[in-house]
Structure formats: C-alpha cells, structure tokens
Amino acid sequence: MWICGDCHLGNLGPLADAKGRVAVQIRDLDQTVVGNPAHDLIRLGLSLASAARGSDLPGVTTARTLERLMVGYETALAGDFDTKGERSLRPGSIGRLVRKSLHRRWRHLAAERLDSVKPELPMGKRFWTLTDEERAALGALFEEEGVHALLTSLQSRDPRDPVELVDAAYWMKGCSSLGRLRFAAMVRIGHDEDSSLALIDLKEATMAAAPRVSEPAMPRDNAIRVVTGAQALSPNLGQRMMAVRLLGKAVVMRELMPQDLKLEVGALTQKRAMALAAYLGAIVGEAHGRQMSAADRTGWLSELAKARTSKLDAPSWLWTSVADLLAVHERAYLEHCRLYALNHAA
C-alpha cells in the first residue's frame, strides 16, 4: 500500500481540505512510496521513543508508548475510529491545536510565512530574486487550464474567477532546497474587491529514499508519485496538490492553507506520551486502512497479533527495530561529539 515513508511526529498535524474543513492527517508526503506499512509504524515509534528520551522519561515508558501506538493503530484498522472514536482518543494538546487551526485566517498565514500581510514576498534571507527564465516559466504555469481549475476549485471559489500571478521568488527552506527548484508564488484569485490572495508552494520532487516494493509499479514521475501517495494517505492534502512540469523538472504544486499546522511536541509526561502515541497510531491506521479491503484489514490485524510476546503487547519487530535505531542514533551522536571535541582541541 502507499506509506508515508517518513512518518515522524513533525509530519502529522491539522490539515484543511478543499473547503477548509480540518482533520489531523499526515502532512508531508515527499517520501511516500508503495511499501510495507510496518515501516511507518517503526518510523513513528522511533520518533515517539526519541521524544520520550528527550523528556527524560524512563525506558519502561518507551515500551508502554509503543504498546499504546499499536492500540490506536489497530483501533483504526478495526473501523472504530469514526468521529466519536477520534474524539475519545484525541489528547488535550491535539484538541487545542485543532481549535487554533480552525480560527486561523490569511493574515495568520502571511504573518507566519512572510512576516507581513502585504501582497508581496519580502526578498532577503528566505526569499530570493528569480531569474528572467524562472519568472517566465512561473507566469506560463499559472496560465495553464489545469492549474486554473485546481486553484479555483478550492475554498468555494468560482471556477470563472481569474488567476493572476502577483509575485514570486525562490524559497530557501533549509539545505534540502539548495540545488533544487523551490518557489513561492503569490496569486490573486477573483475580481477586484471580491478577490483573495493565495500562497502557492512549488517544490521539485526527487527520488524517495524510503523502502519500496517492486510490484505494483509506481509512477516514474516523482511529482505524480507524491500526489498519488498524498491522495491515498491524506485526502485533505492530496486534493490540494498537483503534479506539474516546470523548467523541465517534476514539481509538486499546492496551495498553503492557514489551517495547516505542524505538530510540535515539547516536554512529555508519561501520560501525555502514551495518549499521543495512541492517537497518532490511529491517524496512521486510518491512512493505511482506507486503502485496504475488509479482508486485508483482518489479515493485517492477524499478522500484528501473531508477532506479540508475553512481555510486550506490541509486535516484537517494532520494539527490536526502534531499540536498534535508537542505539544507532546514540552512537552516531556520540561519535559526532568526539570528533567535534578533537577538531576544536587541535
């Protein structure tokens, strides 16, 4: 099935759909591939375990957290994660984040992403001036019929509304942006006083590093792969995305919504860690389960049950994988510190 491929805590959060309705789903699908769903559970388990260690929680809490992760995941696979079930598992911190998301408007998005509410992209550290070729390519892109259809289909806009490119820039978003296409575009949609602004993110899609299966074959175009995976795993995000060609590259285009928020986890208590694990496990279980037939869900649940031991109410491969990866991370970190100290001593 389609998996996230990089299912860590920061890649989940509230997402708005085309009509502005909000649900907590997977929010980053750059690594999405057709693969083994166990990989998403291991990645999320590692992220939760790292957060627990960062909060100085005892090792037994990590074990209990993985157990609660599986409780939430299996609850969703069993079909018990409807509206009522979602609210019963939702921790208070997630509830507050969702309520905050629902109250956000364009001015919040502009202030957060642009440090301004003006209809322009502030050139400087994050936004860089385009070349003439890049600006011409973006101008032509927003005149395409498919792009117009997507943008006017969101937020109850009129399909007849004009779409005008107001400003654009290269968007520097960390080292991963360098050497690749990454643009921010501000467009005006509608007529005069009834128009609205939209912030569009355009990102070059590259080959995923996540483990994949050979069959069935995935789209060869990486942008189509990302959009297809998003539509399967995170409908709220997938319906806002489009694969396009820009300057000869495969690029994913999406409109950024004010309601989109990243889950940020601070210091955890044991109770909060376990509640968060169950809830996020259910979110991932829902993303996986919507791709399965009833027979597939029953079979996968049976496989998960077989892998349990009398000492841990979670698959043994989940605990072993998370423990091994934590050890690899700790060793790499300590080696980095040793080399840093040696270099500075010299």
Residue 345 has pLDDT above 80, yes or no: no
Backbone torsion region of residue 212, taken as left when φ is above 0, otherwise alpha when ψ lies between -120 and 50, otherwise beta:
beta
For the segment 26-39, the average pLDDT, to the nearest whole number, is 96
336 class by beta-carbon count within 10 Å (0-12 exposed, 13-18 middle, 19+ buried)? exposed
Q: What is the mean pLDDT of the chain?
A: 91
Q: Which amino acid is at 89?
A: L
Query: Rounded to an integer, what distance in angstroms lies between the CA atom of residue 208 and that of residue 254?
Result: 19
Query: Rounded to an integer, what distance in angstroms lies between the CA atom of residue 321 and that of residue 40?
Result: 12
pLDDT tens, residue by residue, 296-340: 999 999 999 988 887 888 899 999 999 999 999 989 989 999 998
For the segment 22-29, the average pLDDT, to the nearest whole number, is 95
Query: What pLDDT, on the 0 to 100 scale, is given for residue 119?
Result: 77
226 class by beta-carbon count within 10 Å (0-12 exposed, 13-18 middle, 19+ buried)? buried
For the segment 108-124, the average pLDDT, to the nearest whole number, is 83
Q: List the domain boundaries for the chain.
A: 2-102+261-345, 110-225+235-256
Residue 236 has pLDDT above 70, yes or no: yes
Residue 216 has pLDDT above 80, yes or no: no
Beta strand extents in the chain (DSSP E only):
2-3, 12-16, 22-26, 33-34, 127-128, 163-171, 182-189, 196-204, 241-246, 249-256
pLDDT tens, residue by residue, 152-200: 999 888 999 999 999 999 999 877 777 899 999 999 999 877 788 999 9
Could you say which DSSP state residue 42 is in? H
What residues have CB less than 8 Å from 315, skipping those under 6 apart? Answer: 38, 70, 304, 307, 308
User: What confidence tier does 346 reach under pLDDT thresholds 50, 70, 90?
Assistant: low
Share of the chain above pLDDT 70, in %: 99
Query: What pLDDT, on the 0 to 100 scale, is given for residue 11?
Result: 94
Residue 6 has pLDDT above 70, yes or no: yes
- Three-state secondary structure call for residue 12: strand
The 10 Å Cβ neighbour count of residue 171 is 19
268 class by beta-carbon count within 10 Å (0-12 exposed, 13-18 middle, 19+ buried)? buried
For the segment 228-236, the average pLDDT, to the nearest whole number, is 96
Token readout for 160 is 């007849």
